[in-house]
């Protein structure tokens, strides 16, 4: 076996996006089998193929035009994709981009919702701990209800969501049976089977009882050749079993960045538990604007473009007196972009109202 099947899986994901369908993946398996690894290598393979990087302003995004048709969906040839920079309109663009865990990794319910709202279309998101919002036992919690509503409405952004959870049966039924496009079941480390739902009138579109029967019992010491035979039988006899494939190891330097981002999320959560929550961010910004404005101006004057960038805002405006920076620069950039989009929409609406003889929005 090679990793060609994983690359083909990525092409299926893109095809699903371009067909204006939901593209949500749940990855399940025993602890330590590589759920995070699958999300990381899949995201990086996707960004290698469809990512775009501006060589002038260094902005990274995902190719937003149609990339696939029936003839090139199953080809192994490298796609040649170039799109003018979405930020500065430069044509000096390189195909491919690197995974940015601060941008693509979603930690808790609030963080995942923020990324769904603010990340660029066609982007992948990895909710690394989907147990925080997908558990069936949490179905009646307000935050879980809010997430379901957002999940059901995000299709038009053409996102890819790689959600990790130890057991597929733990997932709330609405997510599992209605809003999941692919189920990736890790059999052992580095080996997974890909399942797709039965779209007929079926109470269990995944055929879980039949899945359990065909896969059979096994453990860490079951020979690999025995597992491969069972997977062959599963794919041949189970209507929802699409294929199985190998998953490569994450490079050490990439995994180190993932752990750094994961720890940052964990410590930020700890800060909230200790009294540094989202409601305090505005307080920090107000303090800097009122008490340290001259210091901020001096720091801005030293910058090449003479305006505060995301890194300065992260490290200076949102600098807690005892805990340091509590907002990452990617979050600052996302927030600013979201507000910028609102101003653009407001201006477009004012122009439209003016053309139609209507009233403009109040300032």
Q: Which residues contact 54 (CB under 8 A, 6 or more apart)?
A: 60, 85, 87, 88, 90, 92, 93, 94
Residue 211 CA to residue 155 CA, distance in Å, equals: 29
What is the per-residue pLDDT for 114?
85
Would the pTM count as exceeding 0.85? no
Q: Percentage of the chain with pLDDT > 90? A: 46
- pLDDT tens, residue by residue, 233-269: 999 999 999 999 999 999 888 988 888 887 766 655 5
- pLDDT tens, residue by residue, 35-92: 999 999 999 999 999 999 999 999 999 999 999 987 788 777 789 999 999 999 999 9
- Where along the chain do its domains lie? 4-253, 279-355
What is the per-residue pLDDT for 247?
94
- pLDDT tens, residue by residue, 90-141: 999 999 999 998 889 887 777 888 888 889 999 999 987 776 676 666 556 6
In the numeric block, the tokens 């896969």 are attached to 215
Torsion of CA 284, 287, 293, 297, to 10 degrees: -10
Q: How far is CA 155 from the centre of its chain?
A: 13
CATH 3.30.1330 fits 4-253, yes or no: no
The structure tokens listed for 127 are 């909710």
What is the per-residue pLDDT for 363?
46
**Pairs from 133-138 (Cβ < 8 Å, separation ≥ 24):** 133/108, 133/109, 134/26, 134/163, 134/165, 134/170, 134/171, 134/172, 134/175, 135/170, 135/171, 135/172, 136/170, 136/171, 136/172, 136/173, 138/172
DSSP 4: H
What is the per-residue pLDDT for 273?
47
- Of the listed ranges 118-132, 185-199, 209-223, the least confidently predicted one is 118-132
Q: Which residues are 162's β-sheet partners? A: 25
Q: Which residues contact 329 (CB under 8 A, 6 or more apart)?
A: 102, 309, 310, 311, 313, 314, 315
DSSP string of 255-296, one letter each residue? HHHHHHHHHHHHHHHHHHHTT--THHHHHHHHHHHHHSHHHH
What is the per-residue pLDDT for 143?
63
What is the per-residue pLDDT for 137?
60
Out of 18-32, 121-135, 250-264, 342-356, give the one with best mean pLDDT: 18-32
16: part of which helix (H) or strand (E)? helix 4-18
Instruction: Write down the number of H helices and E strands in the chain.
Output: 13, 12
Average pLDDT over residues 168-186: 90
What is the per-residue pLDDT for 279?
67
The closest alpha carbon to 261, from 160, 143, 128, belongs to 128
Residue 245 CA to residue 195 CA, distance in Å, equals: 12
Q: How many CB atoms lie under 10 A from the CB of residue 363?
A: 5
Round the average pLDDT of the chain to a whole number and report it: 86
DSSP 30: S
- pLDDT tens, residue by residue, 302-339: 888 788 888 889 888 888 887 777 777 777 877 888 78
pLDDT at 216 over 50: yes
pLDDT at 177 over 50: yes
What is the per-residue pLDDT for 315?
87
46: part of which helix (H) or strand (E)? helix 35-50
In three state form, how does the secondary structure of 344-357 look?
HHHHHHHHHHHHCC
- pLDDT tens, residue by residue, 268-303: 554 554 455 666 788 888 998 999 999 999 988 888
What is the per-residue pLDDT for 357?
62
């Amino acid at each position: 076996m090679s990793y060609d099947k994983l690359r083909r899986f990525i092409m299926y994901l893109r095809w699903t996006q371009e067909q204006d369908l939901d593209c949500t993946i749940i990855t399940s398996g025993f602890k330590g089998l590589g759920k995070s690894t699958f999300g990381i290598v899949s995201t990086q393979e996707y960004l290698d193929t469809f990512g775009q990087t501006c060589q002038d302003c260094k902005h990274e995004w995902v190719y937003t035009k149609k990339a696939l048709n029936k003839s090139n969906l199953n080809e192994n040839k490298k796609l040649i994709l170039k799109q003018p920079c979405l930020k500065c309109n430069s044509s000096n663009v390189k195909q491919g981009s690197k995974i940015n865990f601060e941008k693509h990794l979603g930690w808790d319910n609030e963080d995942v919702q923020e990324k769904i709202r603010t990340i660029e279309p066609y982007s992948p998101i990895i909710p690394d701990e989907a147990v925080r919002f997908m558990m069936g036992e949490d179905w009646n919690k307000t935050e879980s209800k809010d997430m379901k509503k957002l999940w059901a409405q995000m299709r038009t952004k053409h996102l890819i969501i790689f959600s990790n959870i130890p057991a597929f049966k733990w997932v709330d039924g609405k997510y599992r049976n209605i809003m999941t496009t692919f189920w990736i079941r890790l059999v052992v480390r580095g080996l997974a089977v890909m399942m797709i739902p039965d779209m007929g009138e079926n109470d269990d579109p995944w055929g879980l009882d039949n899945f359990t029967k065909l896969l059979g019992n096994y453990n860490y010491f079951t020979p690999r050749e025995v597992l491969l035979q069972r997977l062959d039988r599963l794919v041949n006899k189970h209507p929802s079993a699409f294929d199985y494939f190998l998953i490569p190891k994450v490079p050490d330097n990439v995994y180190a960045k993932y752990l750094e981002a994961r720890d940052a999320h964990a410590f930020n959560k700890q800060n909230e538990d200790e009294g540094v929550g989202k409601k305090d961010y505005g307080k920090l910004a107000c303090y800097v604007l009122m008490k340290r404005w001259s210091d901020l101006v001096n720091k801005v004057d030293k910058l090449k473009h003479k305006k505060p960038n995301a890194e300065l805002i992260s490290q200076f405006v949102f600098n807690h007196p005892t805990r340091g920076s509590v907002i990452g620069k990617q979050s600052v950039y996302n927030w600013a972009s979201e507000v910028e989009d609102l101003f653009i929409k407001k201006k477009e609406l004012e122009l439209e109202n003016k053309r139609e003889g209507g009233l403009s929005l109040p300032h």
